[in-house]
Amino acid sequence: MQDATKRARVDDAAFERDLLALPKAELHIHLEGAMRPSTLTELCAKYGIVRPPDTRGQQFPDFGPFATCYIAVCECLRHEDDIFRLVREVAEDAAACGALWIEPALSILLYAHRFGGVEATLELLLRAAAIAETSTGVGLGYVVAAERHLPPAEASNLARNVRNVIDGGKGMIHDRLGIVGFGLHSAESGNPPEPFAEAFKIACVGGVVAIPHAGEIPPSPGTGPASVQFCVDCIGARRIEHGVLAAEDPALVKHLADLGACLDVCPTSNYLLRVCTSLSEHPLPSLIRAGVTCTINSDDPLLFGCNLLGEYELCRSDLGLTDAELAACARASFRHSRAPEDVKQRGLIGVEAWLNAKDSKSHVPSPQKLHDLVKIDSCGSDVGA
């Protein structure tokens, strides 16, 4: 494996493929945490809210200050226009990074009370997604996430809200299911996943899958790998948000590889939240080379100062991933997404064209061309499908 990696690096050195041209899906991004800094400044001024400090590029001492900043961001969502703007701008920023599909996670419990409750807010977000898709060509599917620091009963109630919207025929974006996953996020410390199993049973039927956070920060000392294993074996998740602490347990690493489970990894986030002591020690390369499927993601661009394209560039420059490994991550981002099949196939074709380019002048479909292929019209059909 090491010899193959060395050979790939020699091949990559012949010319540098443009990472913007590499088609991608982003599977681990928080909608509210992806607000543009300028939008946050404007909305804080509009509503008389003290703007939280700029945390981009700064390490957090623990999860507490991160949560405080995130809550402040959600306080700025006060009018329907704010929701439409947020979703549109997140999709625009994804397009600018070469993404064709994104699956934003929602911290909906932090602001739903201002929009008529969870179900009304979900319907609003779905309408905003349909408009954003039409204007940007980036497809969206939401992950509705429970807050693990709240009682498990709140998570079960949220799961019922999700089912009510879907079963009532209101969970659609352009005639397809717009809620693709049920998640579990917020502070892992002191909040293991076990009490939330019932919520996943309620939500994860009829096209909604389990996509929990696990293996970022141990719920208690030494339990990081165990939290990943529980989510995979007991909740049935085949995608884990973060999951990097699985690297501490070789048996679990092999188990994940054998299952074909996918870890949606966010290197900058892990470093700034002190999950790893340095980027050079991030476990992503070792996980990939051990056969674990991984995707590359930005998590919370507003708070960390990163974006999807920048994370790919970081993985090349600081983590030493080869172009073949970067392409494998991009390929996995489509295969493990909940995107429509035609979007997956067009993305995969683009990834192979990018990887098979023999020089900088080789033909690779431009991001705009791929966006044109997947752009969704106002009637909800896929153009060219």
Question: How high is the pLDDT of residue 66?
Answer: 82
pTM of the model: 0.91
Q: How far apart are CA 222 and CA 11, in angstroms?
A: 40
Q: Please, are residues 226 and 200 in contact by the beta-carbon 8 Å criterion?
A: no
| Residue 383 belongs to a domain | no
Question: How high is the pLDDT of residue 381?
Answer: 32
Residues 230-261 have pLDDT tens digits of: 999 999 999 999 999 999 999 999 999 999 99
Is residue 184 helix, strand or coil?
strand
Rg (CA), the chain: 20
Residues 311-326 have pLDDT tens digits of: 999 999 999 999 999 9
Q: Name the active-site residue from 103, 147, 216, 325.
A: 216
| Residue 382 belongs to a domain | no
Q: What band does 160 get if pLDDT is binned at 50, 70 and 90?
A: very high
Q: What band does 61 get if pLDDT is binned at 50, 70 and 90?
A: confident
Q: How far apart are CA 291 and CA 257, in angstroms?
A: 5
Question: How high is the pLDDT of residue 69?
Answer: 85
Q: Which two tokens mark 369?
A: 């061309």
Cα–Cα distances in angstroms (integers) from residue 319 to residues 45, 163, 217, 267, 312, in the given order: 39, 41, 21, 9, 10
pLDDT greater than 70 at residue 361: no
Task: Pick the most confident of 66-80, 166-180, 368-382.
Answer: 166-180
Q: How far apart are CA 346 and CA 350, in angstroms?
A: 6
| Residue 379 belongs to a domain | no
pLDDT greater than 80 at residue 307: yes
Q: Please, are residues 370 and 27 in contact by the beta-carbon 8 Å criterion?
A: no
Which residue has better confidence, 284 or 65? 284
| Residue 134 belongs to a domain | yes
Contacts of residue 277, defined as CB under 8 A and 6 or more positions apart, other chains included, come to: none
Total structural domains within the chain: 1
Is residue 127 helix, strand or coil?
helix
Reply yes or no on whether 133 is catalytic. no
| Range with lowest mean pLDDT among 45-59, 88-102, 262-276 | 45-59
Question: How high is the pLDDT of residue 382?
Answer: 33
Q: Please, are residues 265 and 284 in contact by the beta-carbon 8 Å criterion?
A: yes
Residue spans of alpha helices (H) in the chain: 2-13, 37-47, 63-75, 80-96, 118-136, 152-167, 197-203, 224-233, 250-259, 267-272, 284-289, 301-304, 308-317, 323-335, 341-356, 367-374
| Residue 8 belongs to a domain | no
Residues 7-58 have pLDDT tens digits of: 555 555 567 899 999 999 999 999 999 999 999 999 999 999 999 989 999 9
Question: How high is the pLDDT of residue 157?
Answer: 98
State percent of the chain over pLDDT 90.
84
CATH code of residue 336: 3.20.20.140
Q: Please, are residues 74 and 344 in contact by the beta-carbon 8 Å criterion?
A: no
| Residue 94 belongs to a domain | yes
When pLDDT is averaged across residues 128-154 and rounded to a whole number, the result is 98
| Residue 266 belongs to a domain | yes
| Residue 35 structural domain | 19-373
| Residue 48 belongs to a domain | yes
